[in-house]
Amino acid sequence: MKLLTYDEAATALKNGEIIAYPTEGVYGFAADAMNAKAVEAVLSLKDRSASKGFIVMAASLEKLSPLIKPLTNEQRETLLGSLRGGSRYTWIVPAQDHCPEYLRGQFTTLAVRVTNHPDALALCDLMPVGVVSTSANLHKEAPLESPEAIMALFGDRIAGVMVGNVGGLSSPTRIVHLESGEVIRA
């Protein structure tokens, strides 16, 4: 099994590879959000439709600025305020017109998450923009719960599993449309 340091994981991503890494509630797969071939490889790895789009996780709202339209002060407060407390949110926000379709899928919006999970944050901080983030599993299967299980199923198709610990969330992050407040996933 190949365990990766934060720096090794970021280098693998920057080289177009896929890694598994601990997030707020599960192990996830990550690819450099700005590398279309790497993102397409995640689709293939998971047997997932490109029309769904991805969550782009970043270390800060500023790092997401090449992909999303400017937010109002109130929207920024809402999004950044969600980093406090026990729940974690993924927000649906208006995408820049030039935001790649491979990230947003069939939508004019983009799902984004600014993370404060220590390991995911350390990784995202090393990336120019952020990473696509999706659970480490096959489409419609339960997320895999250990580096050993991930490597047993995907070992030859990913660079490795980044060291760290999965956070304490017992369910996936909530997904909320920032402009309308509509809850997409509770």
Mean pLDDT in residue range 84-90: 76
Burial zone of 16 (CB within 10 Å; 0-12 exposed, 13-18 middle, 19+ buried) = middle
Q: Give the confidence band of 84 by pLDDT, cuts at 50, 70, 90.
A: confident
Structure tokens at 33: 């959000």
- For 108-137, the pLDDT digits (tens) are 999 999 999 999 999 999 999 999 999 999
In the predicted model, is pLDDT for residue 22 greater than 90?
yes
- For 47-76, the pLDDT digits (tens) are 889 999 999 999 999 999 999 999 999 999
Q: Smallest Cα–Cα separation from 161: which of 16, 23, 14?
A: 23
pLDDT top residue among 107 and 172: 107
Cβ neighbours around 11 below 10 Å, total: 15
Looking at the chain, the whole-number percentage of residues with pLDDT higher than 90 is 81
- For 137-156, the pLDDT digits (tens) are 988 888 899 999 999 999 99
For the chain, give the mean pLDDT: 93
Check if the beta carbon of residue 38 is closer than 8 Å to that of residue 18. yes
List the beta strands (DSSP E) in the chain.
Answer: 3-4, 19-22, 27-32, 55-58, 89-94, 109-114, 131-135, 161-162, 174-177, 183-185
CATH number of 3-185: 3.90.870.10
Domain residue limits, the chain: 3-185
Phi/psi region, residue 79 (left: phi>0; alpha: psi -120 to 50; beta: rest), is alpha
Rounded Cα–Cα distance for residues 22 and 99 (Å): 26
Q: Cα-flanking dihedrals φ and ψ of residue 69, to 5°?
A: -70, 155
Rounded Cα–Cα distance for residues 162 and 4 (Å): 4
Structure tokens at 80: 């950044």
| Per-residue model confidence (pLDDT) at position 169 | 84
In the predicted model, is pLDDT for residue 87 greater than 70?
no
Q: Smallest Cα–Cα separation from 67: which of 34, 115, 23, 20?
A: 34
| Per-residue model confidence (pLDDT) at position 29 | 97
Check if the beta carbon of residue 28 is closer than 8 Å to that of residue 184. no
Q: Give the confidence band of 86 by pLDDT, cuts at 50, 70, 90.
A: low
In the predicted model, is pLDDT for residue 157 greater than 70?
yes
